[in-house]
Structure 1
Amino acid sequence: MPINKTILLLIIYFTINSCTEPYILETNTYEEALVVEATITNELKKQEITLTKTSRFEDKETQIEKGADVFITDNTGTRYDFEEESGRYISTIEFQAIPGKEYRLNINTKDGRTIVSTTETLPAINPMQDVKAAVETKDSLRGVAIRVSSYDPTNTAKYYRYEYEETYKIIAPEWRLKKAITIDGVNGADPTLEIIANDPNTRICYSTKKNTEIILTSTNELSEDRVDFVPRFISDQNYIISHRYSILVKQYVENLPAYTYYKTLKKISGTESVLSPLQPGLVIGNLKSVNNPNDKIIGYFDVASVSSKRIYFNYIDLFPTDPLPPYYTQCDEQVLRFCFGAPECYGNELAYYFALNKMTYSLHEGILYHIYPAPCGDCTTIGSNIKPAFWVD
């Protein structure tokens, strides 16, 4: 969960009265706080921790907390060191959280602050049993429910958090064998167009996206610890499932304090607008500053058990008689005249479109050029033509 993206909702509030013109949001007061994203799991791997700083409304990039000394200790005296790498802190060795051990996160910042967490232990281990895609209706909307099931006969897991990463195949519906390129004019002459063979690698692409919302469920009020939950629902009119779709679902078993923290964060950051009547405050986690108790530390040191499963499906498998969903963008054909200096001439515009790949070429009849929005004929404008290593057709 990218906590930094919600920080302004957590520490800044404002009101705007009767605005009828666009309002540029700026920060009138700003107090820097360290933002910690740290979840270690029972997976044997190099664990990752992210340290950033709170941002102003007008900031365009996230500020990374650089040069920190980051390490985790356990109750047996073992120390796990982390090294800074590409804006993250990566453990120098692979390790996994072990049941019964107590773990503490330690951060020494470059400016001399010392931050420590409470000691945390690994919750119950309860792997997902299954992930399925099923055609269902939600709030009168038909679509595909990604449904997760698991069961803990000991009734001790109870608190669950989910993440997913979805990958989908894109096929450009108006891809052509030929494409138009712009040839710049010499010595002030008008540009010309040349028709060449199109790159076949611009027809089929893939796109991968991770969830950004906090997804939680609990079986605490049920008679047994049995999960039957939908972390992802996709409308049958969403273009991402038009061909082949894959989703990797991760299930984290949390302890009650961590679950409560994420639930509070979700409640505060889940409002539709920063102008909501619900004015948030700072969500207190399990991290504190040793040097200065008044320092604001945002985030949570989370120790969780995790399991993951990946599934695939094709649209035709679930909706065999339905037409494909609408494409990413509306592919309306335009016909423009490639000429200059006369009424209804669009030579400069067409030269610009093709030079910067703003439109895609379909065919031409003399000076009449048939074109579509670029994504309709070139999938690389919205995805990557490199097939993911895990992909199975």
Structure 2
Amino acid sequence: MKIKSASNLIFLLLLCFIFNSCTEPYILETNTYEEALVVEATITNELKKQEITLTKTSRFEDKETQIESGADVFITDNAGTRYDFEEESGKYISTKEFQAIPGKEYRLTINTKDGRSFVSSTETLTPVNVMQDVKAAVETKDSLRGVAIRVTSFDPTNEAKYYRYEYEETYKIIAPKWVATKAILDDNSNILLVPNPVDTKVCYSTKKNTALILTNTSQQTDSHLNYRVRFISDQNYIITHRYSILVKQYVENLAAYTYYETLKKISESGSLLSPRQPGYLYGNLRSTNNPTEKIIGYFDVASVSTKRIYFNYEDLFPGEFAPPYYTNCDEFCYRPGLEPYPCRTFDGFIQDLGLNKIAYQSANVPSSVYNMVNIPCGDCTSFSSNIKPTFWVD
């Protein structure tokens, strides 16, 4: 999450229009910068080591997010129990497993290494409402055909009304032009034909959602929920073979939901000149030693349920052609000699092979024609991992 000074940007853009109609490119930089702590903290009713992320606001020109390191982070409850967190791999991880318990009150405290102190309001666990099901079905969205991932849920007590979702999708990749032999260069730039490792053929990629996914049943007469958390075009290569998605459903209270909804509106404003400008978004954290100091984020205590599903492309689209690969896999050839047409010159072959740009597809003899493809088409490890996830089921 990056917090930017929108007013400065608008001022710069207006000056650009007034003085030179923006005919020259302008490199945006931050003239004024106010550093603030950014907190991402959700503890749940899962028995696990809980995680908290502390970062700093960023300038326009910053390339990476700065981690707030060296902080003393802990949570206390109204029974006097303290849960300590230790810094690990850019996050703060609880030193022991624990879970949020209904009826208990929890408070987050953060003491930074430069002497600042912050504390949250007391929060209690939201109502527990387990997802009934997660299903994949063929649907059409905005005239686009694809796969909809839908969550169904029902709370007979009608207490759970506000929901936030996260998902992690994993998909199987098979290099479409993998062959058993590949070409390499030896130390003297001679072309050698060697066995192609089998473990470059099948890979698995995993990605998490980046946008906030929110819905609510506050305007309904009951708490039945049927919500689409993900839509995938039928032309997206990630569903070509086998696809899995892990969906997490968080039940939020009204205050947390309102915070996330406002944050979502800011992030989806669509234009830097939109009338909906970010400003400062207040959460449930405050400074204990400087009332004017800003802190961004929310300490969330939410019940969660998770469910994973799998499907194959042929399960939903029987007899149909699979989606195209994400990149061009047309074969091209290299041929030695003064007149290589219709192939490419052999000098280019040596150069591209040395830069690991191409994968060997087929050849008659070493002195004849070499048919090649771009390397992702013959070696999926060039952009993905060949390590099969521990949870994966074929």
TM tier, shorter chain? over 0.9
Any conservation in 2 of the 1:40–1:48 contact (CA below 8 Å)? yes
TM-score computed with the length of structure 2 as normaliser: 0.93
Match of 2:288 in 1: 290
Partner of 1:207: 205
Shift of the alpha carbon at 1:274?
3.7
SS in 2 for 1:227: strand
Aligned AA (1:123)? T
| Residue type at the aligned position of 1:95 | F
Shift of 1:114: 0.4
Paired residue secondary structure (2:255): helix
The answer for the alignment partner of 1:334 in structure 2 is: 332
Kindly indicate whether residue 42 of structure 2 is the aligned counterpart of residue 39 of structure 1. yes
CA contact (8 A) 2:334 2:340 kept: no
- The number of aligned residues is 384
CA–CA separation in structure 1 for the residues paired with 2:175 and 2:24 = 38
By how many angstroms is 1:363 displaced? 1.7
- Over the matched positions of the two proteins, sequence identity in percent amounts to 68
| Pair 95,241 (structure 1): closer, same or farther in 2 beyond 3 Å | same
Aligned 8 A contact 1:11 1:280 in 2: no
Q: Which residue of 2 aligns with 1:147?
A: 150
Other-structure match for 1:19: 22
Q: Distance in 2 between matches of 1:230 and 1:45?
A: 28
What residue is the counterpart of 2:168 in the other structure?
165
1:182 has 2:181 as partner:
no
- Residues 307-353 of structure 1 deviation map (CA, whole Å, 9 limit, x = unaligned): 00000000001000210001111212222234699998634432232
The match for 2:301 is: 303
Q: Are the equivalent residues in 2 in contact too, given 1:26–1:57 (CA < 8 A)? A: yes
Distance, in Å, in 2 between the alignment partners of 1:213 and 1:11 is 24
Q: 1:339 and 1:60, CA in 2 relative to 1: closer, same or farther beyond 3 A?
A: farther
CA pair 20-209 structure 1, distance change in 2 beyond 3 A: farther
SS class of match (2:164): strand
Q: 2:6, 2:272 within 8 Å by CA — same for their partners in 1?
A: no
* Contact 1:9–1:268 (Cα < 8 Å) also in 2: no
Aligned 8 A contact 1:39 1:304 in 2: yes
TM-score when normalising by structure 1: 0.93
Quick one: which amino acid aligns to residue 47 of structure 1?
Q
Give the residue type in structure 2 aligned to 1:380.
T
Q: Counterpart in 1 of 2:69?
A: 66
1:391 alignment partner in structure 2: 392
Could you say what the CA RMSD is over the residues aligned between the two structures, in angstroms? Answer: 2.0
Determine the C-alpha separation between the residues in 1 that align with 2:64 and 2:245: 29
Matched, 1:227 2:230: no
CA contact (8 A) 1:340 1:348 kept: no
Secondary structure, in 3 states, of the residue corresponding to 1:8? coil
Residue 271 (structure 1) shift:
2.9
Is the CA contact 2:74–2:110 (under 8 Å) kept in the aligned structure 1? yes
Q: CA deviation at 1:200?
A: 0.8
Q: Which runs of no fewer than 5 residues in structure 1 stay unpaired?
A: 186-190
Give the structure 2 partner of residue 82 of structure 1. Answer: 85
